[in-house]
Structure 1
Amino acid sequence: MNPRILLLVGPLLVHGAPVFSQALQEDQTHVQTWNRFADQTLKLHRQLIEELAVKRKTTTGGYAHLPEFYREESYFHDGELISRVQWEMESGDLHVIEVFIRDDQGRVVRDYTAAYLPEYHNAPTQTLVSFHAYNNGLHAFRSFDASGELNVERCTGTHEGEPVELLVDLGSVFGSAEEDSELQQTPVYQRCFAGLPEEPGKYLIPTGPAGWNER
């Protein structure tokens, strides 16, 4: 599973489900927006695998207390992963979906994720649209949730011969807002995230690579 999913979903599986369930029942705008994003991501997945020549790999997986919980289908085009979908084994409901949009060099430039708690489908627990940049040996991504809120930024690689491992979590899990602000002023941060959009804009509606459905 994508490590960004585990960042949020893992703790919720153990500790947060009842609280999260109650919160979503009280916020129907959130429920509608995030469910629509999940549905649109699934629609994009289906459009891509219908349009492109793909190979499918199927496995099973789960969690410590649910070891055989989902069936995972991974789809590849020209050897590159374009989407991954997990379905609950018992109910057949969607559990997690990821769609990866790549450039002509095969690099991920944008990806979409929606994840539900096991056996809980009022709304996804996590939604992400992430934008990727590759600047002089650095790989950075910036992620927004389906409500358009900036969620997390990360950058890895090397800068001037030194290793880089940056993580900015807007929930202040990994640092204070003041520390994040100071980091954003550094040359390495600015080099990492150069060229990435500061808002998700039209890409809050999951969208494939330019021209893919015009061929």
Structure 2
Amino acid sequence: MVHTGERSHTPLPELSGHGLHLGPWDPDSDADVEAWLRGLSDPEFRRWNTPLVLVTDRDSARKSLRSKARDIADGTSLSFRVADETTGTALGHIGVNEINRGLRLARVGYWVLPEARGRGVATRALALVAHWAFTGLGLHRLELGHALGHDASCRIAERCGFRYEGTLRDAMWEAERQDAFRDVHLHARLATDAVDIEP
């Protein structure tokens, strides 16, 4: 596979395994819009993340999902709806973001709906997406950053073979603010890393 710095369309695959199904979000689905809104407005999500564009109602949620679909179309970011493999119920989100095809590098991020927490959803979704990003997308390095103090995200990263590489100073917004910064733990995993994951 030849990798260049140019944008190219990457069809979003349907990934299944570990009891999960990962596929596209549908901006025209009221259920998907509602799940997206609940995820991005959840207090626990907002405690650790301050989106550049806030999602506060169904209209802004639908607009946000349409923006994600455009990112998929131009190959810059890929957003997966994480669902229960049996029921199809939405459980959360995982994205492969800021894709740099020249360096074969991307960043991953995820969130889980409140009712689905404590069931290993993020760990299982990250294991699926990382495997696909290395074998299907041909990436060499995946980075994962989380706010300092977000111990649950730190454990998920390490469980999936994303080694802690250091602390980035003032690398993300403080909670609910866009005028103050906080530090970020940087984790990363390489395609060549030997990783044994049991989600």
TM-score range, shorter chain: 0.3 to 0.5
Q: Greater CA radius of gyration, 1 or 2?
A: 1
Return the TM-score normalized by structure 1: 0.31
Normalising by structure 2, we get a TM-score of 0.33
- The structure whose residues are more often strand, as a share, is 1
